[in-house]
Chain A
Amino acid sequence: MTSGVPFSSVAEGLPGRALLVLAVDRVLPGVLLTGPVGAGKSTRLTAFSAWLHAHEGGPVRGMPLSVDRDRIIGGVDLERTLAERRKVISRGILDEATGGWVLVDNLHLAEPSNLVLLKQRIDSTGDIRVLAASSAEETPWPHLADVLPMHVGVVGTDDLPDFWARLVSLSEPGSWGSEEASRWSDADGALAATVQRARASLRDVAVSDQTRARLIDSALGLGVTSPRADVYALRVARAHAALCHERAVGDEDVAFAIATVLAPRGVSGPPPSTAPDQASRDAGDREGGRDRAPDQVFDPIPAALPDLQSLIGRARGAVSGRRATRRAMDRGRHLRSRPGRRGRRLAVGETLRRAAVRQASESIHPPISRGKLPGRGDGPVVRVKRADLCFRELRSRAGTLFLVAVDASGSMAWHRMQEAKGLVGALLADAYRRRDALALVTFRGERATCVLGPTSALARARRELEVLPTGGGTPLSSALDKLIELARTERHKRARPVCAIVLTDGRANVPLDPTTSGRAAASLELERIAARYRVHVPMTLVVDTSGLAAGRDDAKRLASMLGASFHRL
């Protein structure tokens, strides 16, 4: 658990200060550190929790990714209950961490069904606080992230001079000289004293009406919708002031709160819906040359596209002839209990009944014998053998996941883009009725971006589409790469049937590999990726947006490369 790194060695910089603020105001439920692998997120969190534990007590529990529900909330310990023949309740992580901290590393990979338990606990009793770390590139489950007041990016260790050198020497306490060890422990102690002093003066820090108004203005300006964020921001500003021995919340404290609480939640800040779009727009601007055309946003043609609709219908039918239901081992409605087949959920009643029936037919053991097992109390005994085990078959309804990739490069002429938007709009309307999900990838400029991860929130897909700008080159291989990634993730996560729809003129001219360039390199690379693509995305529809007039068949070639159905718009 403890890495041995003294907290005082990592208490500098924005992340360090955020952790100190968290220590000062005990009402704040937690912090989220985001950043690339190896930026020292977990190092800081573990150092912080170890330091707090040493100076103030309170339990610290990690929540590993593989944890299951029983371990989180506790429950009947089946094994010990059976062995000791009395009810044995095991405590879960949440009980063990009461009054202390839960540490969640790789928050973006954690199961929402686990995180929701944590969130409910924070919401209801507030006697647990969370230290979380997450990759900067992926969005962690928003409901938990939202109740963590501060989101702090850990860009690297620039703010900590000699961080790695220190880390190496500090994490091996054996290598410390006694002088060095006592120096760090003094520093840790001084920090603890600072926090305690700040905590004592917390309530006396003045918050003027102007300060409050300024924070709320910033929140409104950033497009922060939640009043909860306002509350967090003010608390953070106040704790920061207390930490700096101030009597009133000042400019610096407000700036700190804006940076850690409000900016990460703002629509003009990093949220996924707008940021990648902006990035790709910038990329498009930088790119001079042949495809250079002013970025434009085209309105969709709302007209119905009957032949295309039917085509999509066919695509859907092909993927999901069995779409209405899907067997799953661990979720859904209980279908039946069946012997033999291994599943995740034991059907206890059925298992016991089979065991009893089998014992009745075997003369050696009477069906239910009131016997005495060695070292255990009296009671009826049913001997369960492996062959008796029954597992529950569950079934859940599954929609289709549509991966829609829209070519938004400069070669997509005005009319084409409108039609493409109209097509996706029609698809959306259909998907809404059928409860399908959709992911939207757009590609233009240098690379493809997933502007919307798999979601059934079609209102959002629509908005993304409305503001989709065009212009720049055609990074088709990057788009295929994204589709492969999405399809693979889906297979691991929910395993809905996947159907990809690629709207493009097929004229790839931006290769994925930055060391190469030009149309020839791009098409060579495309062939390589297409082979991989066919393995991962079995069902694809390529919609040619180039129009007949152009008289080219790049898109058709692409379709045959991908093993896809083909349609000309």
Chain B
Amino acid sequence: MSAPFQPGFPFAAIVGQEAMKEALLLCAVDGKIGGVMIMGHRGTAKTTAVRALAELMPVLDVVDGCAFNCPPDALAGLCARCTGDDAPGCVQRRVPVIDLPLGATEDRVAGTLDLEAALLTGKKSFEPGLLASAHRGFLYIDEVNLLEDHLVDLLLDVAAAGENVVERESISVRHPARVVLVGTGNPEEGDLRPQLQDRFGLCAEIVTEAEPERRSEIVRRRMAYEDDPKGFRAQWVEATEELGARVAAAQSRVDGVVVPDGVLETASALCADLGLDGHRGELTIARAARARAALQDRDTASQDDLCSVAPAALRHRLRKDPLETRDLGHRIADALARRLEG
């Protein structure tokens, strides 16, 4: 299922959609932000951006042949196979971006009894699912709003816990599954249940590009890429490497970035102003602001970081009037403006 890495359209060459790109980069820097939901029309580079993201991330050291992408140096979080005495060697792998097809079953996602082994040898063994393949990487769910609810529940549980626990079909297995969920959806085709929505860390809205110049540039680049993928990628190799280096630097720096009390206070006050229950909103703002500061090579998060990440961190948590057609970003911006003035 997990096809070999196919070099695709470079992330750096995507025109516009800054909100989506920033949300994805923040999650690339800090996986604990809790994933991104991208809402927008079809054919707006959502899939392209997610696939291109893997290329920006540093390659992983992985135990050779491990179905769970176990790192060779860590002691915690290793699957049963890799903790054995004769642990195999180490290889380098791209950060996985695993597709979750809409029709996937719970078995396929979480893993299940290995049917073949059970029938052929009578041995009970675990056949890892997509969550195992996506460990330390991204699980990409196109049209997340069309996915069956119980699967979304399962995914969000695992993503939050960083671990997949299977207790079914007479097997009992737990394995590490630190995955960043990236869901995309088209609001015209159905809403995600509100309870599920607010468990995604960030929510980016895709805007329809109406500027002819920019659309023209999109077409130019895309056609150039399709006509000559290698040549096109070569033109963008520098920009890609530069961005990749920024992500790598930010990843190692992010844990040390300080979020000053003033910023935290503004975040809490903002959430209170907007009538949000719980603390997920503030927490996400803080994490995202930290990641943004790290990406910009700073050691302290600023109010500016907060203003930039707040719409994506809060948009999907607002109590929504189902008949409201405008984007909710403006409500957050208004509240923020009032808060910062006062």
Residues of A near any B CB (own CB < 8 A): 27, 69, 73, 76, 78, 81-82, 85-87, 111-114, 116-117, 120, 123-125, 142-143, 146, 203, 209, 212-213, 215-217, 219-220, 225-231, 234-235, 331-334, 337, 347-350, 352-353, 368, 379-380, 382, 396-397, 425, 428-429, 432-433, 435, 455-460, 462-463
Task: Tell me if A458 and B148 are in contact (CB < 8 A).
Answer: no
Give how many A-B residue pairs fall within 8 Å (CB-CB): 172
Find out whether the CB atom of B99 lies under 8 angstroms from the CB atom of A120.
yes
Is there an interface contact between A435 and B42, defined as CB atoms closer than 8 Å?
no
Q: List 29 A-B contacts (CB under 8 A).
A: A85-B120, A87-B116, A112-B103, A112-B146, A116-B102, A117-B101, A124-B6, A124-B99, A125-B3, A142-B189, A217-B212, A226-B42, A227-B209, A227-B215, A228-B45, A229-B43, A231-B222, A231-B223, A331-B148, A334-B168, A337-B169, A348-B115, A348-B119, A352-B118, A379-B122, A396-B148, A396-B150, A433-B322, A459-B325
Q: Of B101, B122, B193, B227, which one neighbours A435 at CB under 8 angstroms?
A: B193
- Residue contact B116 to A459, C-beta cutoff 8 Å: no
Query: A457 and B170 in contact (CB under 8 A), knowing A112-B102, A219-B215?
Result: no
Given contacts A81-B119, A124-B99, A379-B121, contact A333 B106 (CB under 8 A): yes
Tell me which residues across on chain B come within 8 A of A457, comparing CB atoms: 187-191
- In the bound complex, how far is the Cα of B189 from the Cα of A117, in angstroms? 19
What are the residues of chain A within 8 A of B118 when measuring CB–CB?
Answer: 348-349, 352
Contacts of B1 in A (CB 8 A): 73
A333→B1 CA distance, assembly (Å)? 23
How many angstroms between the C-alpha atoms of A463 and B187 in the bound complex?
13
State whether the Cβ of B142 lies closer than 8 Å to any Cβ in chain A: yes
Residues of chain B in range 141-193 having any CB-CB distance to chain A below 8 Å = 142-143, 146, 148-150, 168-171, 187-191, 193
Is the pair A212, B119 in contact by a Cβ cutoff of 8 Å? no
CB closest residue in chain A, given B191: A456
Given A333-B106, A425-B323, A216 and B212 touching (CB < 8 A)? yes
A226 lies within 8 A of B43 (CB): yes
Check if B300 is an interface residue, CB within 8 A of chain A.
no
Specify which chain A residues have a CB less than 8 angstroms from the CB of B279 in the assembled complex. Answer: none
Name the CB-closest residue of B to A384: B119
Select which of B119, B216, B222, B325 is within 8 A of A213 by beta carbon.
B216
The answer to whether B93 has its CB under 8 Å from any CB of chain A is: no
Across-interface contacts of A435 in B (CB, < 8 A)? 149, 193
Q: How far apart are the CA atoms of A468 and B148 in the complex, in Å?
A: 32
Interface size class of B (residues with CB under 8 A): 35 or more
Chain B residue nearest to A332 (CB atoms) is B150
With contacts A112-B146, A220-B212 known, what are 16 further pairs, Cβ within 8 A?
Answer: A116-B101, A116-B143, A142-B189, A146-B42, A203-B227, A212-B219, A212-B220, A213-B216, A225-B43, A225-B44, A226-B44, A228-B45, A234-B223, A349-B171, A429-B322, A459-B323
Chain A residues with CB below 8 A from B216, complex form: 209, 212-213, 216
Asked if A230 and B322 sit within 8 Å, CB to CB, the answer is no
- Chain B interface (Cβ within 8 Å of chain A)? 1, 3, 6, 41-45, 47, 51, 99, 101-103, 106, 113, 115-116, 118-122, 124, 142-143, 146, 148-150, 168-171, 187-191, 193, 208-210, 212, 215-216, 218-220, 222-223, 226-227, 321-323, 325
* CB pair B44 A349 closer than 8 Å: no
B3 near A350 (CB under 8 angstroms)? Answer: no
| Most B Cβ at <10 Å: residue of A69, A203, A231 | A231
CA distance A332 to B106 in the complex (A): 8
Partner pick for B103 among A113, A146, A203, A209, CB 8 A cutoff: A113
* Partner pick for A455 among B119, B190, B212, CB 8 A cutoff: B190
Contacts of A146 in B (CB 8 A): 42-43
If A220-B210, A350-B170 touch, whether A458 touches B191 (CB-CB below 8 Å) is yes
Q: A336: nearest residue on chain B (CB-CB)?
A: B168
Give the distance to chain B from A443, nearest Cβ to Cβ, in Å: 23
Q: Residue A382 contacts which of B122, B223, B227, B325 (CB distance < 8 angstroms)?
A: B122
Residue of B nearest to A330 (CB): B105
Closest 3 CB pairs of A and B: A113-B103, A226-B43, A228-B43
A353 to chain B: which residues have CB within 8 Å?
170
Chain A residues, Cβ within 8 Å of B223 = 231, 234-235
Given A234-B219, A350-B169, CB of A458 within 8 Å of CB of B99: no
Q: Given the complex of chains A and B, what is the CA–CA distance between A337 and B168 in angstroms?
A: 10
Please indicate the chain B residues that have their CB under 8 angstroms from the CB of A333 in the complex: 106, 150
Inter-chain contacts of B142 with A (CB < 8 A): 116, 120, 143
| B148 neighbours in A (Cβ, 8 Å) | 331-332, 396
How far, in whole Å, are A81 and B215 apart by their CA atoms in the complex? 52
Contact B45 A227 (CB under 8 A): yes
In the bound complex, CA of A462 to CA of B190 (Å): 13
Residue of A nearest to B190 (CB): A456
Q: Which residues of A contact B218 (CB under 8 A)?
A: 227, 230-231
Q: Could you tell me the distance between the alpha carbons of A85 and B99 in the complex, rounded to whole angstroms?
A: 32
Q: How far is the CA of A476 from the CA of B191 in the complex (A)?
A: 32
Chain A residue nearest in CB terms to B210: A220
On whether the beta carbons of B169 and A380 are closer than 8 Å, the reply is no
**B115–A78 contact, CB under 8 A?**
yes
- Are A397 and B150 in contact (CB-based, < 8 A)? yes
- Between B41, B119, B142, the greatest number of chain A beta carbons within 10 A of the residue's beta carbon is seen for B119
The interface residues of chain B lying within 8 Å CB-to-CB of A460 are: 188
Closest to B214 in A: A227
Among A81, A353, A459, chain B packs the most CB atoms within 10 A around the CB of A459
**Set of chain A residues within 8 Å of B190, measured between Cβ atoms:** 455-457
Q: Are B189 and A455 in contact (CB under 8 A)?
A: yes
A143 touches B143 (CB 8 A): yes
A352 partner residues in chain B, CB cutoff 8 A: 118-119, 122
| Cβ A82 vs Cβ B149 within 8 A | no
Closest A residue to B104 using CB positions: A113
Q: Which residues of B contact A86 (CB under 8 A)?
A: 120
Cβ–Cβ < 8 Å partners of B101 in chain A:
113, 116-117, 120
Across-interface contacts of A123 in B (CB, < 8 A): 47
Question: How distant is A245 from chain B, measured CB to nearest CB, in Å?
Answer: 20
**Which residues on the A side are within 8 Å of B119 (C-beta)?**
78, 81-82, 348, 352
Residues of B within 8 A of A462 (CB): 322-323, 325
User: In the complex the two chains form, what is the Cα distance from A168 to B322 in whole Å?
Assistant: 56
Q: How far is the CB of A123 from chain B (nearest CB, A)?
A: 6
CA distance A349 to B118 in the complex (A): 8
Q: Is the CB of B191 within 8 A of A124?
A: no
A64 to B43, CA, bound (A): 27
Q: Are A228 and B323 in contact (CB under 8 A)?
A: no
Contact at B215–A429, with CB atoms within 8 Å?
no
Report the bound CA distance from A455 to B41 in whole Å: 17
- For the complex formed, measure the closest distance between the CB of B144 and the CB atoms of chain A, giving whole angstroms: 13
| A429: B residues at CB distance < 8 A | 321-323
A433 neighbours in B (Cβ, 8 Å):
322
A380 contacts which of B6, B122, B212, B220 (Cβ < 8 Å)?
Answer: B122
The docked-state distance in angstroms from the alpha carbon of A349 to that of B171 is 8
B42 touches A143 (CB 8 A): yes
Minimum CB–CB distance for A112 against chain B, Å: 7
Residues of A within 8 A of B150 (CB): 332-333, 396-397
Scoring A82, A332, A425 by chain B CB atoms within 10 A of each residue's CB, the highest score goes to A332
B207 CB → nearest A CB, Å: 10
The CA-CA distance from A396 to B149 in the complex, in Å, is 8
For B106, what are the chain A residues with a Cβ–Cβ distance below 8 Å?
333-334
Query: Does the CB pair A142–B42 fall under 8 Å?
Result: yes
* Shortest distance from the beta carbon of A275 to any chain B beta carbon, whole Å: 16
Report the bound CA distance from A114 to B102 in whole Å: 9
> Are the CB atoms of B115 and A76 closer together than 8 Å?
yes
CB of A367 to closest CB in B, whole Å: 10
